[in-house]
Amino acid sequence: MPDKLYQECRAVISGCRAIFEDLRESGVEVVPLPVSRKPTELSSVSESRASTSQSAEPAIGESLADIQQELADCQGCTLCGERQRIVFGVGNPQARLVLVGEAPGFQEDKKGEPFVGEAGQLLDRILFAMKLRREDVYICNVIKCRPPGNRNPEKEEIMACEAYLKRQLRAISPEMILCLGRFATQTLLQSTTAISRLRGAWHTYEGIPLMPTFHPAYLLRHPAGKQQVWEDVKQVMHRLQGETG
């Protein structure tokens, strides 16, 4: 077998193994098949959005591209001196579900895309378990530039960046928000309550149902939390599928 093909096969197999290990740790007993979905089923999450005429338009008339353009050379806080790239967000501009993380790390700063490092790979597996792909949802962070050494964002940095997140959410006008970790949750809910107390229950951000859960980077350090995250994302899945409860 050619070397390249062999390496590709190995990568696929280790990816599958990671998915099944996560699912087992999360207490998932039934594997969410079919793994390869029909295009109609995959796109239903985004398409049903596009078909409702009023929700396709950004609430205040500005597009994600407008906001991104305004951010282009942002000097709004001291992180601008440290960053390689602004990490604006990625995914479907008409997504029904938006995922909000904390801030870019090393890999994200290098690539200009959120959640592409180790925590991002875990997030991809969470999305897989939710029967979603990255391109079905929209993913962004509270902070658009990397805090040096991956330290926690400072209050002033959050305050400088928060308006861009809010405008992104207004432009997308999603049906649901999944907040990943303390910073996204506390920022959008304007709360100082611990993430362990906020997670697992529906809250509301500007009329949009918001589910807080643990951050994937936290799960890398505390895998036992995967069971709770699975409970939380199941609630999001049910709501996306139009079920109550």
CB 137 within 8 Å of CB 233: no
Nearer to ligand URA, 128 or 218 (CB): 218
Nearer to ligand URA, 45 or 86 (CB): 86
For ligand URA, the binding residue among 96, 144, 215, 226 (CB under 6 A) is 215
CA distance 197 to 67: 33
Q: What secondary structure letter does DSSP report for 211?
A: E
CA distance 5 to 15: 15
Query: Which residues inside 164-203 make contact with ligand URA, applying CB under 6 A?
Result: 181-182, 195
Pairing mode of beta strands 138-141, 176-180 = unpaired
Nearest to 146 by CA among 108, 187, 179, 100: 108
CB 79 within 8 Å of CB 143: yes
Nearer to ligand URA, 49 or 127 (CB): 127
Q: Token pair of 26, please? A: 């999360």
For ligand URA, the binding residue among 28, 110, 218, 231 (CB under 6 A) is 218
User: Which stretch, 15-23, 28-36, 43-51, 211-219, contacts ligand URA (CB under 6 A)?
Assistant: 211-219
Residue 22 binds to ligand URA (criterion: CB under 6 A): no
CA distance 109 to 145: 7
Write the binding mask 89 to 128 for ligand URA: x where contact by CB under 6 A, - elsewhere. Answer: ------------xxxxx--x-----xx-x-xx--------
Site residues for ligand URA per CB under 6 A: 101-105, 108, 114-115, 117, 119-120, 141, 181-182, 195, 214-215, 217-218
